[in-house]
Structure 1
Amino acid sequence: MYLGNVINTYNVFQHFYPYFNEVDMDWDKELETALHRSLKDQTEKDHIITLQKFTAPLKDGHISVHRSNSEVFVPAIKWEWIEDELVITRVKDKNSGIKIGDVVTKVNNQLSENYFKEINSRISAGTTGWLNYSAQNLSLSGEKDETLLIEINNKNFVLNRDQKLDRSDNNIRMQEYNYKVLDENIYYLNLSTIKMDTITALLPQLQEAKGIICDLRGYPNGNHDLISHLLKEKDTSKAWMRIPKIIYPDHEKVVGYENEAWEMGTKKPYLGHKKIVFIVDGRSISYAESYMSFIKEYQLATIVGQPTAGTNGNINPFTLLGNIIINWTGRKVVKHDGSQHHGIGILPDIYVSKTINGVKLEKDEFLDKAIEVILN
């Protein structure tokens, strides 16, 4: 069964994956490695890791390998690599003895960097930002009540994985709000949660705002019509989403592509004359990148933060024996000028990086920079 799953996975990507020209890898060699690994797999968990390692070099942030209806549990902390250190960024158990800003030097008796090297080898990611974001979750994940041993300041802490993983929890305090009026009449919009109806109702206030901050560190909540209020002229890009027409095996004689686009119009009131800032980072993927492609192409706002995930296009899932599901990207997406998006993403105009001191002070350094841009 394990060998069959590897071969079937190989064939799906070999014949239908649209991004082989964008990734530097030898798919046949990866097949050979995966077949050898699968012969040694003793458990379903071993086999899922084999499939994860097999698909990781495809650099497709949509790829996930998981068992249908499987539950994932994590301990009551969050962590993140900041300034080359593994830093605690949230502590839900105030009696744990662990503080926000603590540096984790070892995980399960391994140096933190070695522990994450193995975790990263199981993740398919187009950009470093998506790799780091995915690793934050995968590194903490496990079975219910499975323990995790960490070392902080030469002291060991045993953590229990007793909480279900909530992938929607971005660990950003301001994202508790759908929107908020900040000092100086600056409007903050959390595009991960705010509905377009709410934005529409706010349009009179947004017209009078000193500036508007749009936080897209996450996934939009169907509110991309906001773009129409930022466009001065109708969108003219018509071919940035491309469905490959595949007839023959091995991508031979591809007939062409079925081109698609959003073809956004303009809407009143026009907000493009305001100071607009969009915040993005490595977790901004897929639909978020479609959204941001308009902001970048038409220069509708200043973009602050980090490069996005570099993965866009509809997800195509397939199911292997053992009820193992693999998601992947089946549609090809390029930038509006036709250049490569995959593995690059949307690049910010102003780069922002977190600092350990900022974490300790519970500052949102990305939001602080966005406010600074508007005020200056």
Structure 2
Amino acid sequence: MKKILLIIILIIAQSIHSQTNFSETQKLAATCKVWGFLKYYHPKVAHGDFNWDKQLLEMLPKIYQAKTKDEFSLVLENWIDSLGEVPAATPIALTKDVQYFDKNFDLSWIKNKKLFSENLAVKLKFIEQNRFQGDQYYITTFNAGNVLLQNENYSNFQPNSKESRLQVLFMYWNLMEYFFPYKYLMDKNWNTTLEEMVPIFINAENEDDFYTAMKKLTVRLNDSHAIFYKYPIKEDEQKKNINYFPAKCKIIDDKIIVTKILSDSLAKADDIKVGDVITKINDKTIKEIISENKEIVNGSNEAFYLKNLEMPILSGYSDNVKLEFLEDGQYKSKMINWYQVHDAHRNEYRHAEIKEKFKILNNNIGYVDMGLLKIKNVPSMIEKLKLTKAIIFDLRNYPNGTYKEISNFLNSKPKEFVVYTKPDLTYPGRYKWSQPSITGLENNDNYKGKIVVLVNEETLSQAEWTAMCFKTADNTTIIGSQTAGADGNVSDFDLIKAFYTRFTGIGVYYPDKHETQRVGIIPDIAVKTTIKGIQEGKDEILDRALEFIEAQK
């Protein structure tokens, strides 16, 4: 009898434990998912029949009060019931001639028995099966198929309000959950990110904490497009001006190398020269700085992360900075001035940087700076370079939409070069494969020489896409280092007037459906810039291209 009684007590204890064994964070994360799901799936919510942000703010106190799974689930069930009946629709048939991409699609959380009752799970599944099929109220697509937010209003956003901060977190997390094409490629699972971010947003003590939290959230996308700008909103911030190091730099082997002087006069004042090696900033090693900024500086890969890190660590509101230099095997520290880059300094830099859009190098080799070439310049470029034995297209920059005209010149016939995934607004979270895009045309008079494309971490987005396009030509070789790994039209928003952010909006793949996101454009011949090369004034990637053209290997 005692044994039976003990078993009964244990069963009751386990039952009580199971009813309370979920944290406030898990509860809010689950609420976020349900709120976002209803926003895009519930026929009346997705149609815009409710002020959905207001509904969330009204529901949060009830969510806080729920102490057990059953209480929590009942709050959500009552909320769903209050939205009105969801009519059972004729089974929604998927289009037969459409190929779906489902690596992002995951509604398995609906069946989470630790958080949701069986009755709630059934209600959510029913809504999925009878989801909204009209024009979404809060989201639409434009241009190439990437999403555009609409009918969102955050004009009353208050960063000092916990509920306001959660509202922003919920909105952003669900936007990425359903409409970021590369969610499946993130370093950390997006569900895990939500649970980790909830307490960070809740505990933000001031505006700066909130903006830091948002920056950390956007960095979790692992997307080189996912920039985050904070607008000055405080009077004291508006009066501040950021000061800069008077040179461009590059991080190589845990060191910062000066690559270009932005103002001869300013650099001369502190004896800054191309090739200088910086090993510490304010007594921190560059390796330490690289490590500690991982959460707040974005990048699809390490190469672009390091590029993105270069400016913020050599700028700030102070007037000077302590730098340690490595010179002739000796470490030397000195105070260096930071400057506001005035127009006089910019003009000085621009004058020194005047370049030709295209030219013929030694040995009848053409060179095109794709960052300078405009569509109107393409006919002249073709006329001048069409009889060269090779053309080097330098894509270590951002091009100006010249791919079509150049591709028609390079290719002898039309070829597939890219395929996309685009969001399906009738089934949020699912994506459709597009038909392959074609480049080039029938052209017996196409360019017959060697084609070389130069790339590095500066090769971002349209530049990567252009490299894919040029690769289809009969005799193309890509030379350089890993590109930025963010290839696809951008979706951006600044609904909350205190900041602006964006993300890659469509998936971009090779015709065989291999990824470019995070990976970047893989060079046929890998060449990395070295400290020694910079100090010797060499362009090692260009030099390797010239060597390849002459040696044909």
With normalisation by structure 2, the TM-score equals: 0.61
Deviation at 1:227, TM superposition (A): 1.2
- 1-structure distance, mates of 2:211, 2:356: 37
Deviation at 1:164, TM superposition (A): 7.2
- Residue 225 (structure 2) aligns with: 62
- 1-structure distance, mates of 2:337, 2:474: 46
Q: Against the structure 1 CA distance between its residues 146 and 241, is the aligned structure 2 distance closer, same or farther, given a 3 Å change threshold?
A: farther
- Residue 98 (structure 1) aligns with: 272
Match status 1:160 vs 2:323: no
- Residue 313 (structure 2) aligns with: 139
- 2-structure distance, mates of 1:209, 1:103: 39
SS of equivalent to 1:302: strand
1:242-270, Cα deviation, whole Å (9 max, x unpaired): 32113345x2xx27355573544245741
1:79 alignment partner, one of 237, 244, 249: 249
For structure 2, the 5+ residue unaligned runs are 1-158, 160-164, 233-237, 326-330
Q: Against the structure 1 CA distance between its residues 367 and 256, is the aligned structure 2 distance closer, same or farther, given a 3 Å change threshold?
A: closer
Match status 1:362 vs 2:362: no
1:61-103, Cα deviation, whole Å (9 max, x unpaired): 1101113489865221222122442222233312212332222
Q: Against the structure 1 CA distance between its residues 74 and 318, is the aligned structure 2 distance closer, same or farther, given a 3 Å change threshold?
A: same
SS of equivalent to 2:500: strand
Q: Against the structure 1 CA distance between its residues 266 and 216, is the aligned structure 2 distance closer, same or farther, given a 3 Å change threshold?
A: farther
- 2-structure distance, mates of 1:141, 1:260: 44
Match status 1:7 vs 2:170: yes
- 2-structure distance, mates of 1:120, 1:269: 50
SS of equivalent to 1:208: coil
For structure 1, the 5+ residue unaligned runs are none
- 1-structure distance, mates of 2:360, 2:208: 47
Deviation at 1:322, TM superposition (A): 4.5
- 2-structure distance, mates of 1:159, 1:236: 52
Give yes or no for contact 2:436–2:511 (8 Å, CA) kept in 1. no
- 2-structure distance, mates of 1:4, 1:151: 44
Give yes or no for contact 2:187–2:222 (8 Å, CA) kept in 1. no
- 1-structure distance, mates of 2:517, 2:287: 27
Match status 1:179 vs 2:358: yes
Letter in 1 for 2:276: D
- 2-structure distance, mates of 1:263, 1:214: 17
Deviation at 1:291, TM superposition (A): 0.9
Letter in 1 for 2:414: K
2:190 alignment partner, one of 17, 27, 34: 27
- Residue 467 (structure 2) aligns with: 292
SS of equivalent to 1:344: coil
Q: Against the structure 1 CA distance between its residues 309 and 256, is the aligned structure 2 distance closer, same or farther, given a 3 Å change threshold?
A: same
Deviation at 1:372, TM superposition (A): 1.1
SS of equivalent to 2:485: coil
Letter in 2 for 1:157: M
Give yes or no for contact 1:229–1:270 (8 Å, CA) kept in 2. yes
Deviation at 1:146, TM superposition (A): 5.1
- 2-structure distance, mates of 1:327, 1:288: 18
> Which structure has the larger Rg over C-alpha atoms?
2
Letter in 2 for 1:148: V
Q: Indicate the larger mover: 345-354 or 122-131.
A: 122-131
Q: Indicate the larger mover: 50-59 or 224-233.
A: 50-59
Tell me the percent identity: 26
Q: Against the structure 1 CA distance between its residues 256 and 199, is the aligned structure 2 distance closer, same or farther, given a 3 Å change threshold?
A: closer
1:261 alignment partner, one of 433, 437, 452: 437
Q: Against the structure 1 CA distance between its residues 7 and 66, is the aligned structure 2 distance closer, same or farther, given a 3 Å change threshold?
A: same
1:234 alignment partner, one of 404, 407, 414: 414
Give yes or no for contact 2:358–2:381 (8 Å, CA) kept in 1. no
1:347 alignment partner, one of 522, 527, 544: 522
Match status 1:203 vs 2:382: yes
- 2-structure distance, mates of 1:65, 1:266: 44
Letter in 1 for 2:534: V
- 2-structure distance, mates of 1:217, 1:255: 31
- Residue 213 (structure 1) aligns with: 392
Give yes or no for contact 2:315–2:338 (8 Å, CA) kept in 1. no
Letter in 1 for 2:302: T
- Residue 500 (structure 2) aligns with: 325
Relative contact order: is structure 1 or structure 2 higher (C-alpha 8 Å, sep ≥ 6)? 1
- 2-structure distance, mates of 1:87, 1:45: 31
Give yes or no for contact 2:279–2:324 (8 Å, CA) kept in 1. yes
- 2-structure distance, mates of 1:263, 1:202: 19
Give yes or no for contact 2:365–2:389 (8 Å, CA) kept in 1. yes
- 2-structure distance, mates of 1:141, 1:38: 27
1:252-301, Cα deviation, whole Å (9 max, x unpaired): xx273555735442457411x20221100112111111111123345541
Match status 1:124 vs 2:302: no
Deviation at 1:9, TM superposition (A): 1.7
Q: Against the structure 1 CA distance between its residues 374 and 38, is the aligned structure 2 distance closer, same or farther, given a 3 Å change threshold?
A: same
Instruction: Report the structure, 1 or 2, having the larger strand content.
Output: 1
Letter in 2 for 1:78: K
Letter in 1 for 2:437: A
- Residue 107 (structure 1) aligns with: 281
Letter in 2 for 1:316: S
Give yes or no for contact 1:60–1:125 (8 Å, CA) kept in 2. yes
2:480 alignment partner, one of 302, 305, 309: 305
Deviation at 1:209, TM superposition (A): 1.2
Letter in 1 for 2:521: I
Give yes or no for contact 1:242–1:259 (8 Å, CA) kept in 2. no
Q: Indicate the larger mover: 132-141 or 206-215.
A: 132-141
- Residue 17 (structure 1) aligns with: 180
Deviation at 1:13, TM superposition (A): 0.8
Letter in 2 for 1:11: N
Deviation at 1:108, TM superposition (A): 2.3
RMSD over aligned Cα atoms: 2.9
Give yes or no for contact 1:244–1:257 (8 Å, CA) kept in 2. no
Give yes or no for contact 2:222–2:300 (8 Å, CA) kept in 1. yes
Q: Against the structure 1 CA distance between its residues 10 and 162, is the aligned structure 2 distance closer, same or farther, given a 3 Å change threshold?
A: same
Q: Against the structure 1 CA distance between its residues 42 and 28, is the aligned structure 2 distance closer, same or farther, given a 3 Å change threshold?
A: same
